[in-house]
Amino acid sequence: MAHRVSDIRLGVKTRVFHLGDYRRATVGPGQDVPDDYFFVNGEDISDLGGCEVSTEALDDASAASVLLRQKILRKCREDIYHFFDKEKGQIAIYDAVNPLAAGRRVLAKEFAKHDVQTLFIESACDDVRIIEENYVGWSSNDAVQHYLARITAKIPHFETMNESELNYIKMINAGERLSVNNCSFGYLSHRIVFYLLNLHIKSRHTYFARAGNPSKGDSYKLDASLAEQGIDYARKMGDTLVKHREEERQALIDRGGPDTPLKSLTIWTSPRRRTVETAHYLQQKGYRVRQRSQMSQLNPGSYHDLAVRLEPIILELEREQNDLLIIAHESVLRVLYGYLMACNATDIPTLSFPRNEIIEIIPASYNNQAKRIHIPDLPSEIIPASPEDIRIPVASSGVVSPMNGLGSPMSGAQSPMEGNRSPDKDYVTPKEPGSGTHLLVERALRGSET
């Protein structure tokens, strides 16, 4: 959920701080925290904000566990303050369970001392179908039982949000219903609410494919039809995708998954002639095709301009519940891929989409996964990237980038902050109207992913 919320960050400097990553970075690879780490101490309530605690046991946590918990929380908060104060960050996603009302109140007061407004998000799920979709390969009963056991073990006495003095959003069943307590919402808070209204976490695969090569050169000014090679590419790309989806379905059945039909596949193209004609082969097979004017490549322009223009597409992409094939120019694919895969802005211009590959984006709990599907038997001359795109510049260093780096630690990193500094340090972020200088988005959890 935290990484999905962070994707509202078009034009806003944002970073995710996942407390579980800090815990793993502190205890070391392959190590676990003490058994009493999640026990509640009555005198320790001031340190429970953001801590994934358990009230199942009657015994208090040991002194060593309390000190470890305080060390982890302190490091995470120090990095948040550094992000706000030194890197001019605007939104920090503080990803932790926060199960107790008392701990949430303490947390809000602590950050308020640093001129940080806090917005809590509670994600609740009691829809068995959604739980089953997130346990691919499990039987329905086993999935539900395993899920509920994880929740009970971690937070058996979760207190749902009813604190009238706090800003919070309750999201029920992946966007089926939203409940908002608005004490002092500003522009960014309202934007988060709007984003969550368009969000769902139901399983869906997204595919990216280049348009076929045109008959009159790869130029922005010429809206040419496909060459014969382009028509051949469209047929081979379509056949490859149809075959891959059926093979994936069969592999799921072989692993014990349900024998259910494939999700419907919707195709989006830009209005450019060659992208429309690339989709024509699949359209003749009965697949639905929609033209999206925002997906035309921008020339001249910048990736920042293109990302801002694509924001309505991104919101509609989040609403889409069918599998989705997007056929577009490389510059458009780079921005959409960067959004879904949380890429650093400096990496977006170098993303490669050769014509002999379909990119599949597979949803996962923390970060989506990408897979390259090879399209066989294409002539080598149509495979390389488009030279036209090289002349589309990246936004200058003084402009806020639509996609910043994330703050969770890399594998083996000593600190979650190492190697993840955002490049646009000179940018001065605007204040959140009607609030403090910064916004902290906090996550609480009830019957959702841990």
Give residue 347's pLDDT. 84
pLDDT score for 224:
87
DSSP characters over 154-176: H-TT------TTSEEEEEETTTT
Q: What is the mean pLDDT of the chain?
A: 75
Residue 360 has pLDDT above 80, yes or no: yes
Strand partners, 265: 323
Query: How far apart, in whole angstroms, are the C-alpha atoms of residue 375 and residue 359?
Result: 11
155-166 burial code (b ≥16 CB/10 A, e <16): beebbebebeeb
**Which of these is catalytic: 44, 47, 79, 95?**
95
The stretch 193-200 carries a mean pLDDT of 74
Tens digits of residue pLDDT in 157-185: 678 889 999 999 998 887 778 888 987 77
Range from 17-21, 186-190, 242-246, 366-370 that averages highest in pLDDT: 242-246
Q: What is the pLDDT of residues 49-103, one digit of tens each?
A: 444 444 343 346 788 888 898 899 999 999 999 999 999 888 899 988 788 888 8
Per-residue model confidence (pLDDT) at position 137: 59
Residue 243, pLDDT score: 97
Question: What average pLDDT score do residues 364-376 get?
Answer: 85
**Amino acid at residue number 123:** S
Contact present, 73 and 413 (Cβ < 8 Å): no
Which of 328, 322, 345 has its CA nearest to residue 403? 345
Please check the confidence at residue 112 and state whether its pLDDT lies above 80.
Answer: yes
Instruction: List the one residue out of 35, 32, 55 whose CA is nearest residue 45.
Output: 55
**Token output for 39:** 């026990």
Cβ contact 305:10 at 8 Å: no
Report which of residues 414 and 191 the model is more confident about: 191
User: Residue 397 above 60 pLDDT?
Assistant: no
Confidence of residue 219 (pLDDT cuts 50, 70, 90): low
**Structure confidence at residue 190 as a pLDDT band (50, 70, 90):** confident
Eight-state DSSP code of residue 370: E
List the structure tokens of 11: 């034009």
Active site residue 232: no
Residue 403 has pLDDT above 60, yes or no: no
What pLDDT is recorded for position 140?
63
Tens digits of per-residue pLDDT, 235-275? Answer: 999 999 999 999 999 998 898 877 889 999 999 999 999 99
Are the C-beta atoms of residues 97 and 446 closer than 8 Å to each other?
A: no
- 343-357 tens-digit pLDDT: 877 888 888 899 999
For 143-158, the pLDDT digits (tens) are: 667 666 666 655 556 7
pLDDT at 108: 92
Model confidence at 300, in pLDDT bands (50, 70, 90)? very low
